[in-house]
Structure formats: structure tokens, C-alpha cells
Amino acid sequence: MHTLELLLDEAAELAVREAWRRLAQAGLPSLAQPRSPTNSPHLTLAACPELTAPIRWELAGVAAGLPLSVRFIGVIRFERPVSVLAWGLDLDAALAGLHRRVWEAVASDSPSGTLSPFHEPGRWSPHVTLGRSRRAGAFAGRRVSELLPAPPLSVRLVALRSYDTGTGALEMLEPRR
């Protein structure tokens, strides 16, 4: 699968990495490890089996609209199918529109049933993951928000990339010129 991800501006990336560090220091699941170029704070928009030429064309148009300013809304948790602790993002009209364009691009040229329903417009919950665990309830009953730095109020989403989960390759998706 090829994930489609938006990267954060430098200040927001540093804040997320600090949150990762504090969670790890407290013995909680964190994305602080492993240290690699693929492990950087990001917002996942969708995933598809292949980045075909039509998908790439549409994504180049999306990339041309960056950067995009958004706001963190605080700590959120998911239990689907793993425990996730994240900073949620405000799904304003601009972010919803960008996400819809990405979804329509991948849905238009991907085999039926290959896309995650969690990424569908109307079901997608924009967030930047801070910690993840296969153990259900890993963050339940913990006062994790007290451990974390306050998220930045304003964040800029600055670049679009794809991560190939099969090969581990990262690709920056360039804007259409």
C-alpha cells in the first residue's frame, strides 16, 4: 500500500517529537522509536494499492495548494483496532476539501474494496499520532494530557508524500507546475 501523508512545519514537528519523547520517558507507547526518515510526524490522508498516473496527476494538483494552515484541537484517543493517542486537527473547510480531493483521486483509480473506510470523507478523523499500541486500552485511565506539551495552536501542512508499506520507500509528491 501507498500512504498519502501531509508533513508538518518545523515548529509543529518539533512539538510532536517532544510529545513522543515525553510519552516514552513515562514508559507509555510512543512513536519516538524507531529513528528513521520514514518515522516523521505526519497526517495520513488515505492509502491506495498503487500510485497510478491518474492518481499522481490529481495529487500534483493537491500538492500545488500547499502549504495549508490548520489548528490542533487537543488530545484524542481511538480504539480501532489498536489503541492510538493523538493530537486531533480541526476539520475546517480547507482541510476537508483537500482531503476530499485526495480521496476522490485514489478512489477513482483503485480496485473496489482496497481503500480503508476510516479514510472516507465523513468518517476520516484528522490526527497526528503520538502513541500506538496493540494492547487495547493502553492509554485508558492515564492522565496523558498532563505529560504532553500543549500542541501548537497553528500548524502548517507543508508537503505531500507517499510511503510504500511494502518496500519502505518514501516519495515526495511534487506540485503540478
Q: Which of 62, 66, 133, 135 is nearest to 104 (CA)?
A: 62
pLDDT in tens, 40-77: 999 999 999 999 999 999 999 999 999 999 999 999 99
Look at residue 35 and tell me whether its pLDDT is greater than 80.
Answer: no
Look at residue 82 in the predicted model and tell me its pLDDT.
Answer: 86
Taking Cα atoms as reference points, which of 163, 175, 176, 133 lies closest to residue 42? Answer: 163
Q: Are 115 and 47 in contact (CB under 8 A)?
A: yes
In this predicted model, what pLDDT tens digit does every residue of 4-14 receive, in sequence order?
999 999 999 99
pLDDT at 142: 67
How much is the pTM?
A: 0.93
For each of the domains in the chain, give its residue range(s) and CATH number, in order of start. 2-172 (3.90.1140.10)
For the stretch 94-148, pLDDT in tens is 999 999 999 999 999 999 999 999 999 999 999 999 999 988 888 876 678 788 9
Q: Which of 11, 47, 39, 48 is nearest to 130 (CA)?
A: 39
Q: Which of 55, 81, 78, 39 is nearest to 2 (CA)?
A: 55
